[in-house]
Amino acid sequence: MTITSLSWLEIDAAALRQNIEAIRANLSPGCLMVPVVKANAYGHGYLEIGKLLDKQGFPFLAVHNLEEAILLREGGIENDILIMGYIPLADLRAAVAAGFDLVVYNLESLKKLVAVATAKQPARCHLKLETGTQRQGITEERLPEFLKEFQESSQLMLRGVSSHFANIEDTTDHSYAQLQMERFGRMKDQVIASGFAVPYYHIASSAASLLFPETHFHLARVGIALYGLWPSKETYLSYRLAGKENQILKPVLTWKSLLGQIKDVRRGEYVGYGTTYRATADMKLGVVPIGYFDGYDRLLSNRGYCLVNGRRAPIRGRICMNLFMIDVTDIPDVRLENTVVLIGESGDEIIRAEDLAEWANTINYEIVTRIGAHLKRIVTNP
Ligand SMILES: Cc1ncc(COP(=O)(O)O)c(C=O)c1O
């Protein structure tokens, strides 16, 4: 039985292709793009995006955990996969057997990999170096211990050496990124001096891919830009200040719902939980049948807007678990089941993930990754 969804996402495959082309055009020769598809492909859908990217010349698709890697594989994705986050010791055998590339930064993990891998099916490892994020990573002092394991164990294959920038998106001052690059360079020299010919050095994410050719090395792990979103205003500004071209990225995702009720509300009546909005005049209210359960942030209460028939409709009252209300008084010819655009275009109007982020006091990354995984994703322009 086909039923009508209360809310759905449209995933524009043509925009995705355009972004890939634009990002690739920014990368230095010899640097390959690794699409980051963790966190439900930044909310766009693991398999919807995975299928569009599979076997398109990407050395890896990057995910956070083993579950995501298995989900992609079981969903028919054949591309090599790089797991960037922690893999519990008990699961390392399965990760090796599946042939995934693994980012490693614990000696315990490495020793376990020696035990569960074989010379015939070695563990495909990418060392993660600590250059200043203090998140995952091996310090300069401890790097020799890790390299020794690789020298002594045919069960381990050193496929990559990586790191991650801490302060590249949030600022136009890139001195901290430069410091991280210096540390990365020193540790890279250490790896080379220990006799390793590593095929993949990688440190760049979206911002570095767009701004700094010197960070490109062999791979660029690109997440947010792939989906047509800028990592931050500062990244966009730095890009423009470098004299580069505007408008290279196109948002891939549109998020929609519909009007589930239209009602007349009298002046002086309160709207929603907590009676946080009071009608200052007689008004027409539209009820949208999704809420914070679906990833529509409660901080948008009384702050955000949606689009109906090409016009902005302000949110009135609090976002509920499965519903919220908007003012449709000034929307001409408004009808039950009119489309409500939460992110995207309608007529001449547009609401971006960045707008929601500003209203909800967060970043575009959080807005898109938290869109409910249960909502249907429809691929357009395949
Ligand atoms: C290790 C790592 N590499 C790459 C990325 C992609 O970053 P971005 O979405 O800014 O391109 C992330 C995202 O959080 C990450 O954690």
Residues 23, 106: one domain? yes
Q: Which of 195, 215, 241 is the last residue of a domain?
A: 241
What per-residue confidence (pLDDT) applies to 247?
67
Residues 232, 257: one domain? no
Residues 88, 68: one domain? yes
- The amino acid that residue 20 corresponds to is I
Q: What angle do helix axes 46-53 and 66-74 make, rounded to 10 degrees?
A: 70
Cβ(232) – ligand 1 distance below 6 Å = no
What is the average pLDDT score of the chain? 97
Query: Does some domain include residue 6?
Result: no
Active site residue 38: yes
What per-residue confidence (pLDDT) applies to 170?
81
Q: pLDDT digits over 86-117, tens only?
A: 999 999 999 999 999 999 999 999 999 999 99
Residues 48, 189: one domain? yes
Contact by Cβ (8 Å): 340, 258: yes
Does 245 have pLDDT greater than 80?
A: no
Between the alpha carbon of residue 303 and those of residues 8, 267, 311, 323, 357, the distances in Å are 22, 20, 16, 15, 11
Ligand 1 centre to CA of 226 (Å) is: 11
What per-residue confidence (pLDDT) applies to 99?
98
What per-residue confidence (pLDDT) applies to 171?
82
**What CATH number did the domain enclosing 264 receive?**
2.40.37.10
What per-residue confidence (pLDDT) applies to 168?
87
Test site for ligand 1: of 168, 205, 212, most ligand atoms within 8 A of the Cβ: 205
Residues 272, 345: one domain? yes
* Domain count for the chain: 2
Q: pLDDT digits over 293-351, tens only?
A: 999 999 999 999 999 999 999 999 999 999 999 999 999 999 999 999 999 999 999 99
**What CATH number did the domain enclosing 139 receive?**
3.20.20.10
Ligand 1 centre to CA of 326 (Å) is: 35
Q: pLDDT digits over 51-77, tens only?
A: 999 999 999 999 999 999 999 999 999
Which atom of ligand 1 is closest in space to residue 128's alpha carbon? 1
Residues 164, 237: one domain? yes
Does 244 have pLDDT greater than 90?
A: no
Ligand 1: residue whose CA is nearest its atom 8: 223
Query: Does some domain include residue 125?
Result: yes
Q: Is the dihedral of CA 66, 67, 72, 75 positive or negative?
A: positive
Residues 351, 296: one domain? yes
Cβ(164) – ligand 1 distance below 6 Å = yes
Active site residue 292: no
Q: pLDDT digits over 186-237, tens only?
A: 999 999 999 999 999 999 999 999 999 999 999 999 999 999 999 999 999 9
What per-residue confidence (pLDDT) applies to 174?
87
Residues 199, 103: one domain? yes
Residues 125, 214: one domain? yes
Give which of 113, 176, 187, 177 is closest to 144, Cα–Cα.
187
pTM for this one?
Answer: 0.97
Which atom of ligand 1 is closest in space to residue 169's alpha carbon? 10
Q: Which of 241, 266, 288 is the last residue of a domain?
A: 241
d(CA 296, CA 368): 10
Residues 233, 317: one domain? no
Q: Which of 187, 208, 241 is the last residue of a domain?
A: 241
d(CA 326, CA 262): 10
Cβ(103) – ligand 1 distance below 6 Å = no
Q: pLDDT digits over 134-164, tens only?
A: 999 999 999 999 999 999 999 999 999 999 9
Does 5 have pLDDT greater than 70?
A: yes
Q: Which residue has the higher pLDDT, 167 or 93?
A: 93
Ligand 1 centre to CA of 370 (Å) is: 16
DSSP secondary structure, 326-373, as one string: EE-TTSTT--TT-EEEEEEEETTEEE-HHHHHHHTTS-HHHHHHTS-T
Give the pLDDT band (50/70/90) at residue 1.
Answer: confident
Structural domain boundaries, residue 201: 13-241
Q: Which of 244, 263, 273, 376 is catalytic?
A: 273
